[in-house]
Amino acid sequence: MRFESPLFLLLLLLLPIWWWWLIKRSKNPFVQFSEVTTLASLAKLSWWSNPYILPGLRCLTLILLILTLARPQTGRSFTEVLTEGVDIVLAVDTSESMHALDLKLNNKNVTRLEVVKNVLEKFIANRLNDRVGMVVFGEEAFTQTPLTHDHELLISFLDQVFIGMAGKKTAIGSAIAVGTKRLKDLPAPSKILILLTDGENTAGKVMPLQAAEAAKELGIKIYTIGVGTRGKAPFAVQGLFGQQIQHIHVSIDEELLKKIADLTGGRYFRATDTESLEKIYQTIDQLEKTEAKVKEYHEYEEHFMLFLIPALFLFFLEFVLARTRLQRLP
C-alpha cells in the first residue's frame, strides 16, 4: 500500500495536543443536586459517564479522515526499457603472426590470439542490448558467428577460434567486405565493425580501402586496432633441441588502418600490451553506447473509502451520543 498524498499524515502529529486539550476540558465537571437519591441513580451510569468516550470517538474519526485525505492506494508500477541496440561485427585476425608471445595474461606470456579472445569475451559481456557477430580472417575471411543477441553462444564460438583456421596470411580487405555484408541489410541505427589485426594486408582480392569505401556508403563505422609490440616479437619455434624462442621482426600497416578508420568515421588504436588492448575496447564500449528509452507505467486502486465510511459512522455515533446518553449538562 502507498499514499498518494502522504503530507496529510503530518496532521497526525497534532492529534496528541488536541487530545490533551479535549481531556482537560472534559475533566472536573460539577452539577448541584438537591437530593442524594438522584446521585445514587446516576451511579448506575458510571460507564456512560466516562469522560474519554466522546473525545476518543472524535479522535478516531479524525485519524480516519486524515488517512482518507492521504489517499491510500494499492497496485503496482513497472518500467519498460526500449533499447535501440548497436549492431557490432568483431573482425579477428587469426593469421600465423598471432602466434607471437609478446602479450601477457595472468603474468604469463601467451599468444596474441589468446589475449585477444580474453579481452573480447569481456567486451561482449558488456553489450547486453546489442547484436554482436564475429568474422575471422587470414588468407580468407568468413563469418564465425552471425549477429546475435545470444552472447553465450557467441562466446562459445569465440572459444573455438584458433590461429591458422583461415590461413597463414592476412586479408584485411576481405575481412571488411565480409563484415560489411553481414551489416548492410540490418535496420539498426548504428552499425559498427571492429577490425583487429597484427600485420599488413598480404592476401585477398578485395583492396582494403575499396572495402572501406563500400562500408562508408552503407553507414558502417569501422574501428581499427593494431595489436603487438613494435620491432621484434618473440615466437616459439621448433628447433633441433626442442621448442625455442626466437625474436622475429613484425610490422603493422598503421597508415592503412588509420585511413580505413578515418574514411568511415571511426578511430584507429594501437595496443602494445594487454592493458592497452583492454582500455581500447573499453573506450569503444563508451563511444558506442546503446540508446535506451524508459517508459514508466503505474496502476493503482484507490482505497480511501475503507477509511471514509468508518469515519462517517463514528462521526454520526458521536453526534448521537453527545445529544442522548452522553449529553453534557449545562
Of 141-145, 212-216, 310-314, least confident by mean pLDDT is: 310-314
Domain boundaries, the chain: 2-26+36-77+297-322, 86-289
- Return the CATH architecture of domain 86-289: 3-Layer(aba) Sandwich (3.40)
**Which residue do the cell numbers 626466437 mark?**
246
Mean pLDDT over residues 181-186, rounded?
A: 89
- Residue 285's CB is within 10 A of a number of other CB atoms, namely 13
Q: What percent of the chain has pLDDT over 70?
A: 84
**Buried b vs exposed e over 11-27: b needs ≥16 C-beta within 10 Å?**
beeeeeeebeebeeeee
Asked if pLDDT for residue 252 goes beyond 80, the answer is yes
- Residue 194: pLDDT band (50, 70, 90) is very high
Mean pLDDT over residues 276-305, rounded?
A: 80
Q: For residue range 302-327, what is the model confidence (pLDDT) as tens digits?
A: 888 888 888 888 888 877 877 776 66
CA distance to 31, 82, 173, 316, 317, per residue, from 327 (Å): 13, 66, 101, 14, 13
- Residue 56: pLDDT band (50, 70, 90) is confident
Mean pLDDT over residues 129-149, rounded?
A: 94
Q: For residue range 23-45, what is the model confidence (pLDDT) as tens digits?
A: 676 655 555 545 555 555 555 55
Asked if pLDDT for residue 254 goes beyond 60, the answer is yes
- Residue 300: pLDDT band (50, 70, 90) is confident
Asked if 260 and 232 touch (Cβ cutoff 8 Å), the reply is no
Mean pLDDT over residues 140-165, rounded?
A: 95
Of 91-95, 218-222, 291-295, least confident by mean pLDDT is: 291-295
pLDDT, mean over the chain: 85
Question: Which string of DSSP letters, residue by residue, matches 232-274?
Answer: EEEEEEEETTEEEEEEEEE---HHHHHHHHHHHT--EEEESSH
Asked if 201 and 208 touch (Cβ cutoff 8 Å), the reply is yes
